[in-house]
Structure 1
Amino acid sequence: MGHVPWLYVTPQHPAPTDVRRWRRHLADEHANIRAFRDLAARRQGEEQSILLSLAQAEERHAQHWVQLLGERAEPAPRATLGHRVQTWLARRFGLVFVLALLQRSKSDNQYADERDAASSMAADEQVHEEVLRGLAARGRLQLSGNFRAAVFGANDGLVSNLALIMGMAGTGVSAAVVLAAGMAGLLAGALSMGAGEYISVRSARELLAASQPAHGTRDALGDLDLQTNELELVYRARGMDKDHARARAADVLGQVQQAGTAPDDAVPAAATEADEQDAVLNPWGAAVSSFGFFASGALIPVLPYLFGMTGLAAAGLAMLLVGLALLVTGGVVGVLSGASPLGRGVRQLLIGYGAAIATYLLGLAFGAAGIG
């Protein structure tokens, strides 16, 4: 993010299209400055320092466009609709969402083909994307467990219950039967999701506990035979190569000889980072979250039948409501993963509608055979 002085002579009579483009760039920079400063105010330490540095870089970019515009920089350009929507979403979805949105905007690198921008500005934008990627990655790791339960739960509820309802509707049974099947699917699926998430997190904790060193191992290091150095085998079992394991064992036993006690990290655990992340979750909290999110998703296709609708009208409205919900959840996943929200939303929509159409056709086949 090094600063290179802008070597540019301000045109005396720029074209109106140039002025509009420059003011749009200036509006973008002002929006980014506000976003970075707002984020910095909510953080501390190194993250705050990084965000303030990003804001300073954006201020340099803004000054470039101010110099080009001259008196045309006033009044300051208003925030665009996109900026206002981004602010609204950021305030409601939290820090990780803001960073993901900013990372996404930087990936477009608006200055890559901008003839009136300095080359260092395009380079800054490219580097800023990587900085934001690193900051967002920290937040993604922190919410990965709960977010996974929320997204998987809601999407499973949406898709599975829509498919169930469409399959039942295809057989030609009454709306009351479809409603009963939908409510049964909601409860059964939510209980299954909750139980599965509880078992998953509980098992992760048990596996992590099983991989921890035994209580007496650290105390026994002082009595090891220095000539055979069995501690080397522990490190080799944890994945170190022979030479590194031997050097690490010699270092640890040297500390034992000098201090009379082994360092805290003398015997490492065998757990992976993924195991540790899953084990941090509360199994009951994960179970309740999965239950709630599945139920909330599964309720949406049932709503038309709850309000007394019947036939194709109810099935069509259920498809529409679930389609909108799938677009939203897919879009949120896309933003948080730094990908295209539209692409992820459409992918979710196609998967959900594919399952619903398949079960509807199966229902029609059963109904035509007199099984429904």
Structure 2
Amino acid sequence: MNTETDDPRPDPQQIRRWRKYLADEIAEARLYERLAKRKSGQERQILLGLAAAERRHQAHWRNLLGDHAKNLPSPSAHRVVLGWFARIFGSVFVLALAQRAESGSPYERDEDATRRMAADEEVHEEVVRALAVRGRVELSGGFRAAVFGANDGLVSNFALIMGMGGTGVGATVLLLTGIAGLLSGALSMAAGEFISVRSQRELLDATRPTQATVRAAPDLDFDHNELVLVYRARGMSIEDAEHRALERLGFFECDCQPERSFNPEGDVDEHRAVGSAWTAAGSSFCFFAVGALIPVAPYLFGAVGWWAVGLSTAMVSIALLCTGATVGLLSGASPLKRALRQLAIGIGAALITYLLGALLGVSVA
């Protein structure tokens, strides 16, 4: 920290930077407080702890600024957006954005910030990341099917329409082709998601432990305890397996060594993480249909020729940017990079099919 060295008076540039830091810290504290109001239990306490840390940082900048700590400027644009999202949307999106905001803290490179403040911000990123993981797990089933269903509908139907357009067919044929692609693709996606999720749930059912050990325990020979083999097969060490077997056989009235117990109730619910097969199928069907409808929309409203191609391309491009940004946002990656990647893939696929259609159209003619 280099605040009260040779010249205790800060220069105007420092004051502007400190005032911006203070405004951002105030915005972040309010954000975590708003999120805490929607939570309970441990998550609420964690968010309030983050808000308290941001208030400690505020005190540092207020102390440096003195009278300059009044009439602060607006916080950074992305913190304004975070505060707006916190009032309207769910915490998953907000925490994903907050994770990126915490990772971009300038304190590591600023001598006016203490080392403790820089360390706080670094740890805050991991705290927010852990909180965001919970929401991401809850969204991983139906949401995954929805996002990728919409994206598949956009890319596949747009590529199909562009491919047929390259052959030189009329607008009516393109419209019918788009509708056929929408229905067939949506049904195929729904069936695929249903089978995939149902199969995964069945696989998890086959691998989850049963209560056979409880039923068989009274009749087992202690000198040849098969329970030890069961628990070792589940991944426990010899000592832990023997402890758990003795517990099952009734040698312990209570679990005197809980750290050596196998507690399936404490494990993550894999079924909740996988989601419902019907939910995944329904989400996939609906969102594929919505995505596939976008490139068809101009033809539905009577557009023809290059005007229809241009409208379809523009609408699909915007939708691809949105789905890519959403995936990037929830995965903690750069929304812009994911959006541009999604756009490049979608437009690239359509361009290839258009060129193939044009080639086939010329050869047929």
TM-score, structure 1 length as denominator? 0.88
Q: Counterpart of 1:110?
A: 106
* Pair 1:73 & 2:69 matched: yes
* Offset at residue 201 of structure 1 (A): 2.3
* Offset at residue 55 of structure 1 (A): 0.6
1:214–1:104: structure 2 CA closer, same or farther, 3 Å change rule?
closer
**Helix, strand or coil: the match of 1:115?**
coil
Q: Deviations over 1:65-96 (max 9, x none)?
A: 22222212111333443333233344444111
* Pair 1:305 & 2:313 matched: no
Distance (Å, rounded) in 2 between the aligned partners of 1:16 and 1:294: 55
Q: Counterpart of 1:190?
A: 186
Distance (Å, rounded) in 1 between the aligned partners of 2:68 and 2:361: 70
**Helix, strand or coil: the match of 1:76?**
coil
> Match for 2:95 among 75, 92, 99?
99
> Match for 1:315 among 293, 298, 309?
309
Q: Counterpart of 1:142?
A: 138
1:341–1:180: structure 2 CA closer, same or farther, 3 Å change rule?
same
Q: Counterpart of 1:276?
A: 271
> Match for 2:359 among 344, 359, 365?
365
Distance (Å, rounded) in 2 between the aligned partners of 1:94 and 1:139: 9
1:127–1:14: structure 2 CA closer, same or farther, 3 Å change rule?
same
Q: Counterpart of 1:123?
A: 119
1:7–1:79: structure 2 CA closer, same or farther, 3 Å change rule?
closer
Structure 1: 5+ residue stretches without partners:
1-5
> Match for 1:173 among 169, 185, 188?
169
Q: Identity over the aligned pairs, expressed in percent?
A: 56
1:91–1:190: structure 2 CA closer, same or farther, 3 Å change rule?
farther
Question: Over the residues paired in the alignment, what is the CA RMSD in angstroms?
Answer: 2.6
Query: Does structure 1 conserve the Cα–Cα contact (< 8 Å) formed by 2:31 and 2:82?
Result: no
* Offset at residue 348 of structure 1 (A): 0.8
Q: Counterpart of 1:3?
A: none
Of 305-314 and 165-174, more deviation after overlay is shown by 305-314
Count of aligned pairs between the two proteins: 358
* Offset at residue 248 of structure 1 (A): 3.2
Of 242-251 and 303-312, more deviation after overlay is shown by 242-251
> Match for 1:46 among 24, 42, 46?
42
Distance (Å, rounded) in 2 between the aligned partners of 1:66 and 1:177: 68
TM-score, structure 2 length as denominator? 0.89
> Match for 2:157 among 144, 161, 171?
161
Query: Does structure 2 conserve the Cα–Cα contact (< 8 Å) formed by 1:26 and 1:62?
Result: yes
Q: What pairs with 1:213-228 in structure 2 (closer than 5 Å)?
A: 213=209, 217-228=213-224
Query: Does structure 2 conserve the Cα–Cα contact (< 8 Å) formed by 1:39 and 1:95?
Result: yes
